[in-house]
Amino acid sequence: MNGIAARSENYLNVDYRVRSWLSTTDHKRIGVLYLLSLTFFFLVGGVFAVLMRLELLTPAGDLVQPDTYNKLFTMHGIVMVFFFLVPSIPAVFGNFLLPLMIGAKDVAFPRLNLASWYIFMLGGLFTLGAILTGGVDTGWTFYPPYSSVYAHTRVMSAAAGVFIMGFSSILTGINFIVTTHTMRAPGLTWMRLPLFVWSLYATAVILVLGTPALTIALSLIGVERLFGVGIFNPALGGDPLLFQHLFWFYSHPAVYVMILPGMGVQSEIVCHFARMRPYGYKFIAGASLAIAGLGFLVWGHHMFVSGQSAYASMIFSILTFLVAIPSAVKVFAWTATFYRGSISYDTPMLYAFSFIGLFTIGGLTGLFLGSLAVDVHVHDTYFVVAHFHYIMVGGMVMSFLGAMHYWWPKMTGRMYSEAWGRLSALIVFVGFNLTFFPQFVLGYLGMPRRYHAYPSEFQVLHVMSTAGASILGVGFLLPLGYLLWSLKYGPRAGSNPWNLNSLEWQTPSPPPPHNFKETPVIVDEPYGYPVKEGA
């Protein structure tokens, strides 16, 4: 069988020319293009993080100027949020897997899909241009009137980059929604969809309905900056809170864009590597939609100390507590899925275990922040920084790495070294906690975020955090090494190395250009364990 797989045509060997990659409409190749681009942006964003952690090693501001530090955290945020986290799992694994998982030959609009990558890269170029010509220092949130009147950095170019990138999000969202509705194989009912598809669908809804608010908000910032008018400038009759409302109307749901696909990956890994049906399939699927819906109603919790109406704050606080319910439903469902499962401790599963613990901590501290009085105490401190890194890195990056290891054999046809995989998963887990757990303590003790210098009593915790970041960095670089190594030297994976029965494993690895030789007919859910012998 391996011999046949090696000779047969697949999406990689069908044409080796660079041009064939740049003009491809194959969703798998577009996923790979995104993977390469996002890895680049992740490293760029990582460089800024390294510089910040180095500066914070000592209480005095001795490595960079205060203004430079402002640029570092701004560019770390912009690059990581808009050019890694938002597109990460949807654009890479969503693109690659959605048609495979629903038995389709491609997404509904393949050319639009390629266009989304080009738009993404154009936005990336603008942002890189802003970075290389001096950087931007507004914070990733672009709050006016600082961003529109007072900042003398590359605000326009950076905002243009994010603005452009938004269109790629919208196109991806439209493609996923339409593909899920119209391209499912015969017999693949909604209740037989893999849970990853449900989470991608919920993500796509947010991308389509949230991103345009960011688009218009950034446009208005641009108009205000170019023409000197005062939409958000109180000196000219405008209102800065208006921008914050618009911005968070996108950016809070975007937080769920940055976690829902991770939850989808999580559901896949937990079920398949515990060889169990998901506990409460409908609840997990429904929770994705509930998170997407409720996620649009909680943006005001970013503005508790902004001077918005106290009644608005109370309502946003209550809604924030509500959105925790579907998130918790998922955590309990994954945990219950393990019960009596046949659990294997392969690398993807190690990342899934990390996710459950870290996401729970990130989620629960989110409830602290959603409580009005506690938020006043820890607002704009390292507590917030730690909280969202537990979600963004502890949740999304963990599941990104889990997904990478889980589907690597499908994408490349090769197996990586399991020993190295487990080692790096362990290093990432230890490094992550050492980096960010001390930040909870720092924040609670009163260390504000976005400062390059601090009182000396905070130094021990900051040194711990920097040490953890170094370990985390090693953990992130290791996969880059052994995964690339496996491309040439890894053993051939065969079509179904994990011996699973979901649809993407029923076609050769790497898959042929149009995924399946014949359109599959689905007769059962993807989690019908135990696997039949010889499947």
Partner 1 sequence: MTEVRAAVPIQFDDPAQQREAAALGMWVFLAAEIVFFGGALVCYAAAGWVHGREFALASNDSNLVLGAVNTGVLLTSSWTMALAVHAGRAARRRRLLLFLGGTALLGTVFLVLKGLEYREDWLHQLVPGRSFARSPVAQLYFTFYFILTGIHALHLIVGIGLMAALAVLAARTREPLSGLNLFENAGLYWHFVDIVWIFLFPLLYLRGRHG
Note whether 215 binds partner 1 by CB under 8 A. Answer: yes
Note whether 324 binds partner 1 by CB under 8 A. Answer: no
HEC assignment per residue over 242-280 = HHHHHHHHHHHHHHHHCCHHHHHHHHHHHHHHCCCCCCC
The correct pick among 66, 134, 187, 228 for binding partner 1 (CB under 8 A) is 228
Q: Among the candidate windows 235-243, 345-353, 367-375, 499-507, which touches partner 1 by CB under 8 A?
A: 235-243
Helices 382-391/418-445 angle, 10° precision: 150
- CA distance linking residue 196 with residue 406, whole number of Å: 13
Count other C-beta atoms under 10 Å from residue 143's C-beta.
18
The correct pick among 56, 98, 213, 369 for binding partner 1 (CB under 8 A) is 213
Looking at the Cβ atoms of 179 and 507, the one nearer to partner 1 is 179
Q: Among the candidate windows 44-52, 107-115, 331-339, 438-446, which touches partner 1 by CB under 8 A?
A: 107-115
Contact 56, 462 (CB under 8 A): yes
Comparing CA positions, the residue from 255, 227, 221, 222 lying closest to residue 240 is 221
Contact 520, 506 (CB under 8 A): yes
Note whether 522 binds partner 1 by CB under 8 A. Answer: no
The correct pick among 2, 8, 182, 344 for binding partner 1 (CB under 8 A) is 182
Q: Among the candidate windows 3-11, 64-72, 230-238, 454-462, which touches partner 1 by CB under 8 A?
A: 230-238
Note whether 293 binds partner 1 by CB under 8 A. Answer: no
Note whether 208 binds partner 1 by CB under 8 A. Answer: yes
Contact 221, 188 (CB under 8 A): no
- CA distance linking residue 492 with residue 474, whole number of Å: 27
Contacts of 408 (CB under 8 A, 6+ apart): 414, 415, 416, 483, 486
The correct pick among 59, 139, 212, 446 for binding partner 1 (CB under 8 A) is 212
Contact 381, 447 (CB under 8 A): yes
DSSP codes joined into one string, 186-233 = TT--GGGS-HHHHHHHHHHHHHHHHHHHHHHHHHHHHHHHHH---SS-
Backbone angles phi, psi at 34, to 5 degrees: -65, -40
Note whether 231 binds partner 1 by CB under 8 A. Answer: yes
The correct pick among 5, 209, 441, 445 for binding partner 1 (CB under 8 A) is 209
Rg of the chain on CA atoms, in Å: 23
Looking at the Cβ atoms of 137 and 224, the one nearer to partner 1 is 224
Name the minimum Å distance from CB 102 to partner 1: 12
Backbone angles phi, psi at 448, to 5 degrees: -75, 155
Sites for partner 1 among residues 119-178 (CB under 8 A): 170, 173-175, 177-178
Contact 270, 305 (CB under 8 A): no
The correct pick among 127, 211, 337, 439 for binding partner 1 (CB under 8 A) is 211
Q: Among the candidate windows 144-152, 224-232, 456-464, 485-493, which touches partner 1 by CB under 8 A?
A: 224-232
Looking at the Cβ atoms of 144 and 326, the one nearer to partner 1 is 144
Looking at the Cβ atoms of 239 and 430, the one nearer to partner 1 is 239
The correct pick among 52, 72, 97, 107 for binding partner 1 (CB under 8 A) is 107
Name the minimum Å distance from CB 221 to partner 1: 11
What totals of helices (H) and strands (E) does the chain contain, helices first?
19, 0
Looking at the Cβ atoms of 49 and 255, the one nearer to partner 1 is 255
Contact 448, 378 (CB under 8 A): no
- CA distance linking residue 301 with residue 321, whole number of Å: 11
Residues in the interface with partner 1 (CB under 8 A) total 46
Q: Among the candidate windows 7-15, 104-112, 258-266, 501-509, which touches partner 1 by CB under 8 A?
A: 104-112
Looking at the Cβ atoms of 26 and 137, the one nearer to partner 1 is 26
Note whether 237 binds partner 1 by CB under 8 A. Answer: yes
Tokens 């065969």 locate to 494
Q: Which DSSP state fits 532?
A: P
Note whether 230 binds partner 1 by CB under 8 A. Answer: yes
Cis status, amide bond into 510, omega within 30 of 0 = yes
The correct pick among 105, 275, 449, 450 for binding partner 1 (CB under 8 A) is 105
The correct pick among 65, 342, 456, 519 for binding partner 1 (CB under 8 A) is 519
Q: Among the candidate windows 146-154, 216-224, 381-389, 457-465, which touches partner 1 by CB under 8 A?
A: 216-224
Q: Among the candidate windows 144-152, 239-247, 257-265, 382-390, which touches partner 1 by CB under 8 A?
A: 239-247
What residue ranges bind partner 1 (CB under 8 A)? 99, 104-110, 170, 173-175, 177-179, 181-183, 208-213, 215-217, 219-220, 223, 227-231, 235-239, 242, 245-246, 249, 514, 519
